[in-house]
Structure 1
């Protein structure tokens, strides 16, 4: 069995070690096409937002392969979603687990400080998505995870207290998201935007299941107001990307989804999604008038939209004008 070793980081440089060991190259810092002697398929890596990246692999092996992830200095949690239609093996802390959609155990969350390995089945289509998340974004989740005593106990006495892994099920909504990803080509122009949006929705679905919904109509504390401003700043800093799920923003704020929605409304008199759209359309108006684009489609892609009709409708709702009315074509 061939063994290959790699590490993870939120930026794309880690892929080169993986590509070198499989005797191929990284294309555009995103794509690896595996050579035929390894198997048929590819992988795709992209940064979703600061603190979140996603790695996608779709591969049918021709030879047994063990993919070993080494511990690195990067403080990450790895959310592994496996929708392979067979059983693969994943090893965490020297314990083997079967994982795959047919096994009903298809989700693993691993601390980057714990070594793990992945052995896809040979002559079967292996399909998995790994979302890498900076630990600093999930401190509240980790605290609640420990408090619920769902931390997985192992025989490894060297494991640090803040290291953990979780092994369980993908929810049905996430399964549908992953199934839709199966039908996409990594060479489509819209693939990068699609996988970024999918990654955020997968995280949102997970946290939606994890947190107990609770209502809180009390006045916001100073800490809660600071949390609202933190998530608002996050939206503004990532205005060119897709909208992160409300549940993900709530996790960042250390609140349940319902409490976060109420708190955001109190602070900004609107919903997180409407706030995001308004700011995005405001920037869109500046881009349209900039004279730096040849077509409306270019502006649309710059704003991370894939449907011109959606962009047009949201723009009209806000300004009572169509994008074409404000568009200054490059060179004119």
Structure 2
């Protein structure tokens, strides 16, 4: 496995060192690497004052362990990731799936360090947006529901900006539309800048102070919450474990655990577990090997009617309707 220790930043001084560590070079706005590493497009752009981006649409031909250690602590990284194949965020040897079917949106303070592994055959499609904290502050100050809380949100002694969650359908469609554009076109930069502005606007419009938990998070806290998420995902066929049990596993008090879990995922532990149980049910139904009743029993729903009602509430269609769409 090849290991690459690199950094990102709003200023593009990270690009040349990154290209060299990948065994490649910078050509215009492209990072060109040897075909035995990956094939496809790696494109960077200075988008506006305080905003830059790294656009990836590549197929990896070698397993690579990326370790991100940023030199600058003055920006927020917003990572939209629709990678297909085995790509994982690692925390103390616990693998957390990243990409289309796992976490596909991460909002992370540049002070965090983390490891990301992609395997050979992994098709990576991601848009990484780097935004100066001062720029995000201005957006927040122009948002009435957030204006009075800006000082606390951006005070590192009171709060850490970090979230691993899933993007909205609107964000997904914006990215798919961008992917359909010809990158060699003279208008691609305009599409890229427009997509970034729309993604930022969509994220901020959806954000309310109820979604923000003011609290600090250190590397150890983040690892424990990610490990807890992985535990929940590995036990979807079981009833929800108690908060006390999960908090003990994470070496936290119950109140701290609940606060940090919601801060990092945007959901309570119960909601995270239940939502992923429903996502798993859809995956099982999609395989067409189990009946609706069997899926309900497999995932330990209290009864078939309750499962059907919750499935419709979450996906906007009944399990029967979903199955008919597969025919």
Matched, 1:9 2:34: no
Residue in 2 that maps onto 1:137: 135
Normalised TM-score (structure 2):
0.56
Cα shift at 1:113: 0.6
Q: Cα gap change, 1:43/1:161 in structure 2, threshold over 3 Å: closer, same or farther? A: farther
Q: 1:207 aligns with which of 200, 204, 208?
A: 204
In the alignment, what sits opposite 1:193? 190
In 2, Cα distance between equivalents of 1:93 and 1:78: 22
- Tell me the residue number matched to 1:82: 81
How many Å apart are 1:13 and its aligned residue?
2.1
Secondary structure (helix, strand or coil) at the match of 1:170 reads coil
The corresponding residue for 1:181 is 178
**In structure 2, how many angstroms separate the alpha carbons of the residues matched to 1:177 and 1:23?**
32
Residue equivalent to 2:59: 60
Which shifted more, 135-144 or 203-212? 135-144
3-state SS, counterpart of residue 115 of structure 2 = strand
Structure 1 residue aligned with 2:122: 124
Match of residue 112 from structure 1: 110
Residues 93 and 203 of structure 1: CA distance in aligned 2, closer, same or farther (over 3 Å): farther
Runs of 4+ residues over 6 Å off in structure 1: 92-95, 145-148
RMSD: 3.0
What is the rounded CA distance, in whole Å, between the counterparts of 2:86 and 2:77 in structure 1?
20
Report if aligned partners of 2:80, 2:106 keep a CA contact under 8 Å in 1. Answer: yes
Report the Cα distance in structure 2 between the residues aligned to 1:173 and 1:99, rounded to whole angstroms: 19
| 1:291 matched residue in structure 2 | none
Q: CA deviation at 1:68?
A: 1.6
CA distances 1:269-288 after superposition (whole Å, capped 9, x unpaired): xxxxxxxxxxxxxxxxxxxx
Residue by residue over 1:33-85, the C-alpha shift from the partner in whole angstroms, topping out at 9 and shown as x without a partner, is 22112121221111111011111111111110012211312401000001123
CA contact (8 A) 2:84 2:99 kept: yes
Q: 1:49: which partner in 2?
A: 48
1:87-122 residue CA offsets vs partner (Å, 9 max, x unmatched): 52124798753221223x310111111112222232
1:14 CA displacement: 1.0
Aligned length: 202
Structure 2 residue aligned with 1:303: none
- Distance in 1, matches of 2:163 and 2:196, equals 18
| Aligned residue in 2 for 1:20 | 20
Deviations along 1:146-169, one digit per CA (max 9) or x if unpaired, are 979xx9xxxxxxx96443310111
Equivalences for residues 138-177 of structure 1 within 5 A? 138-139=136-137, 141=140, 161-177=158-174
List gaps (5 residues or longer) in structure 2. Answer: 211-327
Q: Which runs of 5+ in 1 are unaligned?
A: 152-158, 214-332
Please give the TM-score of this superposition, normalised by the length of structure 1.
Answer: 0.55
* 1:114–1:163 Cα contact (<8 Å) kept: no
